[in-house]
Amino acid sequence: MSSRSSERGTPPDQSSSECPPGIYLVATPIGNLNDITLRALDVLRSVHVVAAEDTRKTRILLRHFNLTKRVISFHAYNEQRAVEGIINLVRTGQAVAIVTDAGTPGIADPGYSIVRAAQAAALPVTLIPGPTAFVAALVLSGLPSHSFIFRGFPPHRPGQRRRFLADDAQQPHTLIYYESPHRLHAFLHDALAMFGDRQAAIASELTKYYERIQRGSLSELSQRSAESELRGEFTIIITGGPRDGT
């Protein structure tokens, strides 16, 4: 049997040579740096350029693994200009890795825009899989995981946030959200108002030394959040509504 992979879309081995021109979406650890995959390291070692959501955090990651690369910025505030620049780099024969602050590019960040642009330009694009915070949080929540909806970050303004949550109130699937520490209590207060006192879980510092999973009703979690000093980004898991006829 040939040693060449038979899986469609799988690029050649990058462990000992430069990556072919293209865009490589590289998932990075969500906390513990030891969670990086061997393939991710091979690709980061072999690409010409790394496009990062936060160049400072990415340079810390690269230094940790003794990688020296040109790092450029790619985030929500320079998205259109950065996408054009990355596409031009690939057209000139370069391989570009896309990394987010943590986790899988394209999940709650502008990564999807580079995928669409690459497809429109008929340029190769592939994913080097790895951690995603909401998957870890869902599994650890102890709430139903066979059917779920990931909703990302809700709107910041109270009225818009309540309308956003109202759209989810009748969903029978487990609901997943991201939220920042200074809006967590307001989010939980609004979720309680929109959903009623459902069971939920809040995950923070996933894979790190101070990993924490809080479980309870929305009212309990809302009260705890009002009494605690909050840090880091949070993933909130909420039980879905009752199914029709139940």
Tens of pLDDT, residues 4-45: 333 334 444 444 478 999 999 999 999 999 999 999 999 999
Strand order, beta sheet including 95-99:
70-73, 49-52, 95-99, 22-26, 125-128
In angstroms, the CA 143 to CA 132 distance is 17
Provide the pLDDT confidence category of residue 208 given band limits of 50, 70 and 90: very high
Out of 3.40.50.740, 3.40.630.30, 3.30.950.10, 3.30.200.20, select the CATH number for domain 133-238.
3.30.950.10
pLDDT of 1 strictly over 50: no
22-128 CATH fold: Cobalt-precorrin-4 Transmethylase; domain 1 (3.40.1010)
In angstroms, the CA 54 to CA 67 distance is 17
- Provide, rounded to the nearest whole percent, the portion of the chain with pLDDT above 70: 92
- The answer to whether the CB of 215 falls within 8 A of the CB of 161 is no
pLDDT at 10: 42
pLDDT at 233: 87
In angstroms, the CA 158 to CA 122 distance is 42
How long, in residues, is the chain? 246
Structure tokens at 33: 């740096």
Instruction: Name the residue ranges covered by the structural domains of the chain.
Output: 22-128, 133-238
Look over the chain and give the mean of its residue pLDDT values, rounded to a whole number. 90
**62-117 pLDDT, tens digit each:** 999 999 999 999 987 888 899 999 999 999 999 999 999 899 998 987 788 999 99
